[in-house]
Chain A
Amino acid sequence: MPMMTGEQYRASLRDGRRCYIDGELIEDPGEHPMLRTAVASVAGTYDRFYDPAPDAFHPMYTIPRSREDMDRRVKALGQSDITAGTTAACMALVDVAPELGKLRPEYRDRIYAFFDWCKDTDVRCSEAITDAKGHRRKRPLQQDDPDAYVRVVDRQSDGIVIRGAKLHITGAPLVHEQVVLPTKSMKPGEEDYAVACSVPTNAEGLHIVNTTNAPRGEDVRHFPISSRTNMPEGLLVFDDVFVPNERVFLDGETSHAASLAHALGLWERSNAVAYSGSSADRLVGLASLLAEMNGAADRTDIRDRLSELAIYATMCRAGWEAAMANAKTNEDGTLSPASLYVSASKFYNAELHGRMVDILHDIAGALLVEAPTMADHDSAEIGPDVREHLLGEGGWTAAERLKLLHYVRDLTADTYGGWIAVTESLAGGGQYAQRLVTLRHYDLASAKELARKAVGL
């Protein structure tokens, strides 16, 4: 099948899906004021990568076999909306296909068939991993509500029925398939919770309740990022949803529940780490411009702070380079970045992010969160006041200052900035999880041997 255009994508969303926001059922996501820009950004990706050739497909469906493949994929995802990233992560299912195939051959076949179907029909997928979880220290069967983790409540000859909820699902109302995976490892006795499958967004019994980091208001010019790149997060309620066998990738094999979550977790973390260098570079650039704008670029204390940012950016970039230099290939030839460097880098990036943002705020000053809007600037009545009183040093016009201040506020000190701070830290597992994964992959034996030799033991 040919790829979809943006218009075809928009039409594909009108499929009877039951999505809600602010307590209301959404008739058409493409027309809803809080979702339409997110839909537009996904549609824009469709149009940008559209190719009428019958066998064309988005680069996110390229299974990386080499560093060059990976670089092309990273570049393509950098030019795409977030749902391309979540879809690409879901395609990491093929990473574990060989392992699942040894368990039951049909699992491997179904994963590759699903991959081909997604690629051929040019659809988008979400990563539906995080369960409601109930009491965090109790196993699924110890919860006072057995639905705290998504589980199989019925097995039929042609499929299974699932019940439960998945939280924090990026782009959920705007994709076509919700790829459901276990949130963690399962133990014998927890077979009903060891389930992986894909569910169409318009499936009977699936309800998606959304929040969004999109700005509210008629004039959103002072939200230069979030007015263009916002994305909803869905809470998925599976109210006894039937899943046909061909979309079931794991059902009851507790030994492999964690494999799927780990495979996607690695790709989710990798996506974050791959762009952390350029994101940090942007922070350095913004801080540098703010310093110039305030006439403070030559101050010793400001140069000290800029050097902190520069080290941060360089280390973020180094982390991804090391992850790729130490990448590994599985038996089907799929290349994966090195888990050790991905986790260590993700931890480093998130741990220091707040302090780096502090530097921007310090250089910017209070005007960052109190600047007049672009509407103020363009007003016939008060525009002249704004242009006069916001004139910057070194030739900075009021309009330039306002653009820079609104950009930094939107990115670091408003709704979208809050979403970034929380999700960058928690996506793909929280900070403690990153530390554990790093320690697990670290070559402790070699380190101890080095120490033994050094001490002379």
Chain B
Amino acid sequence: MITGDAYRESLGDGRAVWLEGRRVPDVTADPLLAKSVAWVASTYDRYEGVTNPMFRVPMTRDELRDQMEFLVGADRTATTTAGCFALTTLSPGLRSLADEIVGRDARMAAAVDDTAKPVEAQARADGGVELSGGKQHVLGAAVVHELLVLAGDVACAVPVAAEGVRILAHSPAPRAGDDRHFPVSRSSTISEGLVVFDGVAVPAERVFRGADAFRDTLKLWERARAVAEQADRAELIMGLAQVISEMNGITAVPHVRDKLSAIAVYAKMCRAGWDAALGNAQEGPGGMVCPDDAYLCATKSYGSQLYSDMTHYLHDVAGGAVVTAPTIADLEHPVVGDQLRKYMRTMSEVQGEDRTRIFHVIRDLFADTFGGWDKVTNQVVDGGMHAQRMATLDAFDLEPARRRAREAAGIT
């Protein structure tokens, strides 16, 4: 397994990336994309010398739980790579590609959603295909090595640096020169990309059939990640609300306890849904164990429906300093720094700087650029809240429910 520095070096492969209208000659040197690179590199350094767990396809419930815990804690390209690896259980033909990816310790991203000009694969005489069209919402496109492109019933593995691939990157990373008051997004953002395929030649050994099944598995994988992360995020909202309430001295105020209890119920239900999905995980095609989709759909829908209410409660118990707290640079200022620490503290046990840092986390995650990106992209997983409800209905085992209703009403 390669080091973070070797990963950085690997990105100097001539990839064609643009950001906000300008060509990015080196993604490791761009102020915004470098933050994504640094996050991915940190995962590389964590597993230097040993095989990264993302390459392990879970075959038991315990392995699935371990895998998901790892993915929630790792950079987001680990999830996209692991999702692509899960497909090896569906198509033995992918195995040799997977071996090559492990050998290079490369990262993959799935390119599934079409732009207004869908990607089409034209067959070539040598058995390969030529790709033309566009894909959007490709997580990590500018900082991974391979794109797994779904076009009709065909899936193709395309190196990011391939001739004819152009990436229009977008990043929710903070733009402030001194970004210390963005404690999460300064180190945990992954850029997204709109990827244009302009007559990209793909050799036969990188073309695979059965993309419809791939699509379903990739969607399920994305849904699982979103639900796992939702449970973690709900617990973080709970923790932040409790800590800032304690720092404000209001945990015993009845309406604050009301809000904290509402968040506690939300956090527990999000966790319960995820645990139920893991506890009822089933063996899929090829032996891979997948979380139960009915619980995934219901939990995703539940979490999305109430997310805004929970962040609203968090803002309410925290107060206006969520968006007006001074920066770390302000706290260091020789004239006003001591005054700011004095007025941001609330009692002898609470330091002004600690409380300020809590406000920064709340703003960064729930009231700023990264928070907006994170909220929207998680809400619209699987087509948004309405689609999530419909998916829950579709996944619900209706027959036993109907039978019980008939029995209750005495209808034979």
Q: Is the CB of B324 within 8 A of A367?
A: no
Q: Is the CB of B308 within 8 A of A369?
A: no
- Which residues in chain A, 168-197, are within 8 Å of chain B measured between CB atoms? 168
Chain A residue numbers with a CB within 8 Å of B330 are: 20, 22-23, 209
* Dominant SS among interface residues on chain B: mixed
Q: Is the CB of B340 within 8 A of A209?
A: yes
Cα A22 to Cα B346 in complex, Å, equals 23
Q: Is the CB of B380 within 8 A of A134?
A: no
Cα A132 to Cα B176 in complex, Å, equals 26
Contact partner of A239 among B252, B315, B339, CB < 8 A? B339
Contact partner of A422 among B307, B335, B367, B385, CB < 8 A? B367
Given known contacts A132-B344, A372-B168, is B137 in contact with A366 (CB within 8 Å)?
yes
Q: At the interface, yes or no: B412 with Cβ under 8 Å from chain A?
A: no
Q: Is the CB of B134 within 8 A of A389?
A: yes
- Which residues in chain A, 340-394, are within 8 Å of chain B measured between CB atoms? 351, 353-355, 357-358, 361-379, 381-382, 385-386, 388-392
Cα A386 to Cα B170 in complex, Å, equals 13
Q: At the interface, yes or no: B321 with Cβ under 8 Å from chain A?
A: yes
Q: At the interface, yes or no: B394 with Cβ under 8 Å from chain A?
A: no
Q: At the interface, yes or no: A438 with Cβ under 8 Å from chain B?
A: no
Chain B residue numbers with a CB within 8 Å of A235 are: 324, 326, 340, 343
Contact partner of A370 among B137, B308, B342, CB < 8 A? B137
A210 vs chain B, min Cβ distance (A): 9
Given known contacts A211-B325, A389-B134, A421-B367, is B249 in contact with A426 (CB within 8 Å)?
no
Q: At the interface, yes or no: A202 with Cβ under 8 Å from chain B?
A: no
Q: At the interface, yes or no: A133 with Cβ under 8 Å from chain B?
A: yes
Contact partner of A144 among B339, B347, B372, CB < 8 A? B347
Q: Is the CB of A369 within 8 A of B343?
A: no
Chain B residue numbers with a CB within 8 Å of A147 are: 342-343
Q: At the interface, yes or no: A423 with Cβ under 8 Å from chain B?
A: yes
Q: Is the CB of A379 within 8 A of B376?
A: no
**Per-position contact with B for A14-35: 1 when CB-CB < 8 Å, else 0?**
0000101011110000000000
Q: Is the CB of B249 within 8 A of A136?
A: yes
Contact partner of B322 among A145, A362, A366, A422, CB < 8 A? A422
Q: At the interface, yes or no: B77 with Cβ under 8 Å from chain A?
A: no
Q: Is the CB of A370 within 8 A of B324?
A: no
Chain A residue numbers with a CB within 8 Å of B166 are: 382, 385
Q: At the interface, yes or no: A130 with Cβ under 8 Å from chain B?
A: yes
Contact partner of B346 among A133, A211, A427, CB < 8 A? A133
Q: Is the CB of B21 within 8 A of A373?
A: yes
Q: Is the CB of A211 within 8 A of B117?
A: no
- Which residues in chain B, 325-347, are within 8 Å of chain A measured between CB atoms? 325-330, 332-333, 335-336, 339-340, 342-347
Q: Is the CB of A423 within 8 A of B320?
A: yes
Q: Is the CB of B386 within 8 A of A211?
A: no
Cα A390 to Cα B363 in complex, Å, equals 31
Chain A residue numbers with a CB within 8 Å of B368 are: 414-415, 418
Chain A residue numbers with a CB within 8 Å of B136 are: 366-367, 370, 389
Given known contacts A372-B168, A391-B116, is B372 in contact with A412 (CB within 8 Å)?
yes
**Per-position contact with A for B298-335: 1 when CB-CB < 8 Å, else 0?**
00000010011101100110011111111111101101
Q: Which residue of B lies closest to A300 (CB)?
A: B386
Chain A residue numbers with a CB within 8 Å of B170 are: 369-373
Q: Is the CB of B18 within 8 A of A381?
A: yes
Chain A residue numbers with a CB within 8 Å of B403 are: none
Chain B residue numbers with a CB within 8 Å of A115 are: none
Cα A412 to Cα B327 in complex, Å, equals 23
Q: Is the CB of B178 within 8 A of A23?
A: yes
Q: At the interface, yes or no: A452 with Cβ under 8 Å from chain B?
A: no
- Which residues in chain B, 85-140, are within 8 Å of chain A measured between CB atoms? 115-117, 134, 136-137
Given known contacts A369-B377, A376-B21, is B343 in contact with A237 (CB within 8 Å)?
yes
Q: At the interface, yes or no: A200 with Cβ under 8 Å from chain B?
A: no
Chain B residue numbers with a CB within 8 Å of A363 are: 384
> A132, A165, A413, A426: which has the most chain B beta carbons within 10 Å?
A413
Given known contacts A136-B249, A426-B316, is B336 in contact with A357 (CB within 8 Å)?
no
Cα A389 to Cα B193 in complex, Å, equals 13
Chain A residue numbers with a CB within 8 Å of B20 are: 217, 219, 222, 373, 375-376
Q: Which residue of B lies closest to A419 (CB)?
A: B323
Q: Is the CB of B325 within 8 A of A379?
A: no
Q: Which residue of B lies closest to A385 (CB)?
A: B196
Q: Which residue of A lies closest to B175 (CB)?
A: A216
Cα A363 to Cα B385 in complex, Å, equals 10
Q: At the interface, yes or no: A336 with Cβ under 8 Å from chain B?
A: no
Cα A185 to Cα B35 in complex, Å, equals 48
A366 vs chain B, min Cβ distance (A): 5
Q: Which residue of A lies closest to B333 (CB)?
A: A23
Given known contacts A209-B330, A355-B309, is B369 in contact with A376 (CB within 8 Å)?
no
Cα A130 to Cα B319 in complex, Å, equals 11
Contact partner of B18 among A130, A132, A133, A376, CB < 8 A? A376
Cα A430 to Cα B312 in complex, Å, equals 11
Q: Is the CB of B23 within 8 A of A392?
A: no
Given known contacts A23-B327, A136-B346, A357-B308, is B377 in contact with A385 (CB within 8 Å)?
no
Q: Is the CB of B343 within 8 A of A389?
A: no
Q: At the interface, yes or no: B371 with Cβ under 8 Å from chain A?
A: yes
Q: Is the CB of B320 within 8 A of A422?
A: yes
B312 vs chain A, min Cβ distance (A): 5
Closest 6 CB pairs of A and B: A23-B329, A375-B21, A413-B372, A418-B367, A354-B308, A389-B115
17 new A-B pairs (CB below 8 Å) besides A237-B339, A361-B379, A381-B23?
A22-B327, A24-B329, A132-B344, A144-B348, A211-B324, A217-B20, A366-B376, A370-B170, A375-B20, A382-B21, A385-B196, A389-B115, A389-B117, A390-B116, A419-B367, A426-B319, A432-B316
Interchain Cβ contacts under 8 Å between A and B, 8 examples? A133-B346, A135-B347, A209-B326, A216-B176, A366-B376, A389-B196, A419-B323, A423-B323
Residues on A facing B (Cβ under 8 Å): 18, 20, 22-25, 130, 132-138, 143-145, 147-148, 164-165, 167-168, 207, 209, 211, 213, 216-217, 219, 222, 233, 235, 237, 239, 301, 305, 351, 353-355, 357-358, 361-379, 381-382, 385-386, 388-392, 409, 412-415, 417-419, 421-423, 425-427, 430-432
Residues on B facing A (Cβ under 8 Å): 18, 20-23, 115-117, 134, 136-137, 166, 168, 170, 172, 175-176, 178, 192, 194, 196, 248-250, 252-253, 255, 304, 307-309, 311-312, 315-316, 319-330, 332-333, 335-336, 339-340, 342-348, 363, 366-369, 371-373, 375-377, 379-380, 384-386
